[in-house]
Amino acid sequence: MNMRRFLTVSLCVGLSVSVNLLFLIIHREAHRTSIVEGTAFHLVDAQGRVRAELTLAGGESNRPEPTLAMLDESGKEAIVLGMDRYGEGVLIFNSTKRDLERPGVVVVGYLPGNDTNDFEDPLGAWGVGVRLSPGKTTSLGFSKTGRSISPSVQVR
């Protein structure tokens, strides 16, 4: 009888320990995450230069917006994925050549229709905009009303 009781107790203890270990392993795996938190992440090349940034950038009205920027070797933004002042997504391709920093900008996404902070932006559109030179742009896309926008040079 004692041997039977010993085997029963041993089996129960072994089973209990096994279940507890299994629960611990499952619980640990369920809570294992690879989350990194912060306000900025910089990708740095072998020379220590920042080549990409994931940040909460400026934005209007103290409302920082998430922005992903790819930088050239001199630190100029070549590609930017972010949000404009209306909270709309945009993808921007900048020319990083010495004398073409501002001209040559290509914007894909939401194109603001006015320079005000009017949240409604009745003149806004979705499409592609190109800055040809300072003060000259052209766009192709669709307005908020669905009207197509044909390419034409606009002087501002």
CB atoms within 10 A of CB 20: 10
Is residue 107 within 8 Å of residue 92, measured between CB atoms?
A: yes
Overall domain count for the chain: 2
> What is the distance between the alpha carbons of residues 84 and 103, in angstroms, rounded to a whole number?
19
Neighbours of 96 (CB within 10 A): 17
Please tell me whether residues 114 and 90 are part of one structural domain.
yes
What's the rounded Cα separation, in Å, for the pair 52 and 58? Answer: 17
Q: Is 150 in the same domain as 78?
A: yes
Phi, psi angle pair for 147, to nearest 5°: -75, 135
Do 23 and 52 belong to one domain? Answer: no
The per-residue pLDDT for 47 is: 92
Q: Is the entire prediction scored with pTM above 0.75?
A: no
8 shares its domain with 57 = no
Q: What are phi and psi of 26, to 5 degrees?
A: -65, -45
pLDDT at 33: 65
One domain, residues 128 and 61: yes
**Residue 71: how many CB atoms within 10 A of its CB?**
20
**Least-confidence region, from 61-65, 72-76, 97-101:** 97-101
Same domain (yes/no): 12, 47: no
Shared-domain flag, residues 8 and 25: yes
Are residues 24 and 91 located together in one domain of the fold?
Answer: no
Residue 144 and residue 83 share a domain: yes
Q: What is the mean pLDDT of the chain?
A: 76
* Residue 52 shares a structural domain with residue 21: no
96-149 tens-digit pLDDT: 665 544 556 788 888 877 665 666 777 778 888 887 777 778 888 888 788 887
Domain containing 50: what range?
A: 40-155
Which tens digit of pLDDT belongs to each residue from 80-94? 888 877 777 888 888
Each residue's pLDDT tens digit, 21-32:
777 777 666 666
Residue 59 pLDDT greater than 90, yes or no:
no
The amino acid at residue 111 is L
Whether 99 and 26 map to the same domain: the answer is no
